Structure formats: C-alpha cells, structure tokens
Amino acid sequence: MTHTIQPNNPETTPAPDATDIPAAPAGTPTGSPAPAASAVPAALKRRIPKYSDLAPLMQFKKPEFSKEARLKRASTIWELRDIAKRRTPQAPFDYTDGAAEEEITLGRARQAFLDIEFRPGILRNVSSIDLSTEILGKPSRLPVGIAPTGFTRMMQSEGEYAGSQAAEAAGIPYTLSTMGTASIEDVAAAAPNGRNWFQLYLWTDRDRSLELIERAAKAGNDTLMVTVDTAVAGARLRDVRNGMTIPPALTVKTVLDASYRPAWWFNFLTHEPLTFASLSRYTGTVADLINSMFDPTLTFEDLDWLRETWKGKLVVKGIQTVEDARRVVDHGADGVVLSNHGGRQLDRAPIPFHLLPEVKQAFTADNTDAAIMLDTGIMSGADIVAALALGADFTLIGRAYLYGLMAGGRAGVDRTLQILEKDMARTMALLGVSRISELTPDHVRLLNK
C-alpha cells in the first residue's frame, strides 16, 4: 500500500497557543526576540581534548620505499610517467616519450581526448560492470591491448617479457614488434597461454619478410599487424639531440646520466645483450636501423601478397584517412588501426580520435565487419571509453605501458593495466552503462568539432 505524506502547509498550520510561548525575562524590551534556549550547542563549546580523542588521529604510517609501495601510490598513467622519468636515463626515456619534429601531433592527440564532454545517463543499474569484448574473433577481458614497441628491453631490462606476461595475466592481446628486443619464439615461451600478435615491417627482401611470417605462425601468433606509415623514418629530434644509439653508448654524458640511475644501468649491463625479433645483432643509430628496415616502394599490391601469404587475421596499422581505411579492407584486411605512429612519423598528421567517427560511418555504410582499432594519445581509461563510444572496437596502448615498464618492470605494467581497468569501470558506471555494447556516440560530445 502506498502511503502519501502531505507536506506541511504553513498557511494551514494552526498558530501555537499562547501558553506554549515562553515568557520573556523581566526587563526585555517590547518587540525584542526571546533568547535561544541554549545559545551554544554542546558540540561547539571549547574544551581541552582528551587523549582518547587524539589517539585515532595520531597513527603515523611507517615510510615505505619498496617498488610495490612506489607503484601503488601511482593513481594515474601520468604519475607512472613521473616515476619512469626519475628512474630511466634520458636517452631511452626520451625515445619513449618523444615524437617527431615539434611533437605537435602527439600534443594534439592527447588534447583531443581532453576536448570532449561525457553525457551520462542516470538511474541505471551499474552495480556490475563488464569490460570484456571480442576482437578479431576471440575474447578479450578488457577493450585494450598492448601495441608493438621497438627496443623495449632498452627501456627496462624485462622488456617484452614483462609486457607479454602482464597481457597474458590480464587476458588481453600483446603485440611483438619486428623491432622488439626479444625473439618471436622467446615471447611465445614466456607467455604460452597469452594471445600473441606479431607486427611486421614489410622489407624489400620478401624472403626475409616471409621468414618472419612463418616464424610468427609457427609460434602461435593468430594475428599479423602490418605497419604502413613508415616509408621513411620521422625526424625524432630528441633522439638526434641525445645521440641515441642501439645499444646505448657509454659516453661522458651517459655516464653522468647513469650516476643517479644506477639501477637501470645495473640491470642493463647484467642481462643478456639486446637481441631483436628480426635481427641477431645490430650496432648503429636508431635512424639508420629504421631506414634499413622500412621500404618506401610499398603499394597495395604488396598488401595483396601478404594477404595471400598469411592465413590468420590481418590488421593494417597506420591508417590516417577514410579512403585508405576502405582500400585496405578491400584488399583483404580484417581490421585497421587508426594511428599516426604515436606522432613519431609525420608531425601535424591526422588525429586518430578525430578520424574515428568518419571511419565508423564509412564502414557502416559499406556493411563491413572489419575491426576498427585506435592508438595514439591514450593516457587513461576514460580515453578508452570515449574511443569505444565513438565507434572503436578496440584500443592499443604503447607509451602508457612503457611508462609502467620503466617505473617498475613487470609489476609496473601490471599497475598500468590496473589503473586503466579501474578508470574504465568507474567511467562506465558514471555514464550509466554496464557493458561496452551499451556505449554509443550519444555518450560523448566533441567540444571543438
């Protein structure tokens, strides 16, 4: 039975009886208000504090300086970046943190995620948040995977092993780069139950490329991600200024830099020298290595050859226009990664997050089920949720995971994924959605569009 509670109406409330009003003390002027029964509430009266009141407030925590405590204090990817910068020599940190030329593209990509407005729904049951999704025919516990990154063991000695094992534990895909510092076989052995993908740079020497493709298939990689935005190397000026080489050279500058980062150098010098997924050994500058691997003659015919050669899922990374997104799907791609290489190739390149709605609209019009993935600029779980709402099927993180790696090895990568997962769950709950399929463009408004 529904009970109706009538609000008190001051117009109909009977006036108090005259006998209910206390008489004013003698001498009180006519018309003056009667004093309050108690001028100061007991809770507001001054008193000397008791020890029993102070004891709960005087519980001093013992300072903690362990790696676990340091990582636990980090609540954002930016805070992991701060830790990484303190613990990593300048050259490897700048290789991760930097971008091409004036780094305009990277700044714009990150700003794009800030220049949005979420549109939350209310009065929805969000007691349970499901972040799982499906990408390229298989489940992923989170809508984010680890992007391919080069020279990873140079950032921190655990490198690709930490990344692949953290991804395996989190139930998400891990992508090994052609320029990774661990072999295809070693990564597969380190994370045997993980979902491992392989990123390929197509070389002019097709036999060399074919060898890598066969090794990736034999090692159980179900997806090949070919990167196509590297006709030549971008002008990564931080690396030029730092004299970045592979492996890092012990110059006067690097020795001085190492003097207050001894842990990094100890780890680097006491582990196996850097080896590559595609090269046994290499000595030279980053730019020289990149230019020796990139093929400026690539065309869509090469993509046709790759489609015929690789029998698993094929993803094309480096898509920056709607037209190219459509063309690679026409040439057999199962998915695209909207990416400008983390701003590390062409400065002032298109921003993937801005391109996303147009590509989604085009794929819907074409009635294609090709997957749309996105990277560049992601620094929080809210960024990921915004991308999913605007049409992405999946996202990839590069720098965000490397900041965690540099901050604390495998534990740091785990912390990265924990932060992002918590961010995503909180953002979705506040938007009023409990699963990814409920996210729509109505949940996000681009403020500058």
In whole angstroms, give the CA distance from residue 197 to residue 147. 9
Helix H or strand E segment including 116: strand 116-118
Using a 10 angstrom Cβ sphere, with 0-12 exposed, 13-18 middle and 19 or more buried, the burial of residue 430 is middle
Q: What is the CA radius of gyration of the chain?
A: 29
In whole angstroms, give the CA distance from residue 374 to residue 302. 23
Catalytic residue among 3, 331, 341, 354: 341
- Please say whether the beta carbons of 129 and 421 come within 8 A: no
Nearest to 85 by CA among 413, 404, 420: 404
**Residues whose CB falls within 8 Å of the CB of residue 428, separated by 6 or more in sequence, listed in order:** 126, 129, 131, 385, 434, 436, 439
Count CB neighbours of 223 within 10 A. Answer: 25
Nearest to 384 by CA among 350, 349, 352, 343: 352
- Please say whether the beta carbons of 74 and 419 come within 8 A: yes
- Please say whether the beta carbons of 172 and 134 come within 8 A: no
Tokens at 234, concatenated: 């971008």
Decide if 341 is catalytic.
yes
Q: Look-up: residue for tokens 């979705």?
A: 428
**Residues whose CB falls within 8 Å of the CB of residue 89, separated by 6 or more in sequence, listed in order:** 248, 254, 257, 258, 261, 264, 265
CA atoms within 13 A on the CB side of 41: 2
Tokens at 93, concatenated: 């940190």
- Please say whether the beta carbons of 398 and 436 come within 8 A: no
Cα torsion 428, 431, 435, 439: sign: negative
Positions marked catalytic: 341
